[in-house]
Structure 1
């Protein structure tokens, strides 16, 4: 057996599928933890960060929302500080702005107070505000109470991804879609791309985002989840001077989505959104994008129907805001009454890769699983971009452990 292994010409030690911020952070972490390790990244697009990484609101999250002790909480708090430092080191546009989380109804006050406690448990500085103090931060915002989270920021995550690619020393192959995987536990992993190239590696790391469950099945591993895509639709504010920084509603604890919020980006523009509606394709950035095979896969997953039955009322509100600009404007006016319908200009949408269990449970935390010669990142929701540096180190640690075991 050792002789057979010695005769294999491996193209790399670790092959990463996916050139978003998590995949590139993983490659970066591997080459720093184990210099000399040969890493190749396959990305199906012609450049990095074309999907979830490059289509979010650019917020460096503080970690206030996440259950104490969860991977999300630990990685977000640590990752936010590291992301600011990384951006400063490499001259990437960023700012620590702070943000307001605003309660506009009395029924939201207990949830707001719970966030204060959660923030303190996660080690995040939080300041409680009354109505007059809200206006000191954001003169156009109205609410019964709010909290100010000082460690929240903004940055250019696409530029971060590019820098990770450049600094990793990995071979990055753009335009290389993985279409077939031949995994032999005693020999290694061979991946065929859409171009007909074959890449042989000792270990495969799956950071394929919207397609991570499909890639897991290509390797022969059963992920136990299905990616159900949710589209987040945004508007841009035609009068950006109305907003100084970041303004969020109090989130519904039953959902991993944060509601319609206002975000002043690093370019000075203000994005409003997103809502969350089912996408008809994994890259379904509009209602007109339908991929029958992918849609059939979503509809064939029992968890999709259980979500619909359990949360149809919430979902109907999201759908109403998707098809009605007036309804979307009403949601914004709860925070900022001076916004008019004509102030909202349609902007690019994003799609969230939400892992769903068979019983309809939305996987709320990061989910990383190992198989024979494989490591799969099966759920990397927000705050994945914020937390990408510590997540990358964790995935790298597991990949290097698998590599050490098979060498």
Structure 2
């Protein structure tokens, strides 16, 4: 009666008792057998009372208390074997919780022993449930290197559900995978945050789009290969652990951030894309023209379509008066200056030298001979022809 009052079952206690005697031949029971049935009901009520104390619930029926435990157990963070190893004196209790969770049939005498164990260990169980993260951190510590106690709640993922029924080794593997995944995501978040703080952009593609400049052009030659790999990782959603570590290492040591927000440095870098035609082209006009292509700014560098468009624009500017500057410069040279200029040009420009040797050798040498033996007017004409024939970058 005392237990029924505690669990709020005083109005149903008679029906619960009568149900015990609704079995065949119960009229033949002696007093001892009848009292034993009452003891079973006391165990049920005791279980309900303990459940309400530990889970802070208000059940008055055994089946409801069992459902409550099943729901709670599904979110317990440790496996039953791991808990039994940590709390060997409470082994029967954790066996009881496992039997509840797996819907195993529990005979009345066994149920009574389970309830007795729950009563003996109710403080231990309550303390575990209220400090579960600490126990989890203690049990699975070897797999949580680099993860603080305060971060353990981040491991409460779907993979951890129902881990209670797993064997200890299986639960270790699950926790290790969760920890590795979390540390990987943590590193990726650190990389993303670092990039945003330094560049005010989401990733290298976004930065290139904002500034209409391939970001790779700002990278020093010695960092070029590392930068390409790092940019690829930053632009992707998925990356393996080594890629993330290499990317973080690159971002922590690169000199890129020293110039990434300087307009002057950005324009200097963009001029590398112009193939030596920057003297004839306006940078912003080129950016606007290239933006009309179906190619993202991040991919402009090394793209043949972009190179052809830049050359076309340079040729248009050259034909529209850009060559006048060269003609004027040539006309102001003496024959000796022109001769020296051509010789230096051949010596210092491998592209011109290769063309003289490999392509139209007789024509080029004829022009050189004319240059060396005729007057300045012819000299000017010859240099202009060479300039038009080869490309303006030689000058």
Q: Which TM-score applies when normalising by structure 2?
A: 0.17
Which protein has greater RCO, CA pairs closer than 8 Å, 6+ apart? Answer: 1
Q: Which TM-score applies when normalising by structure 1?
A: 0.17
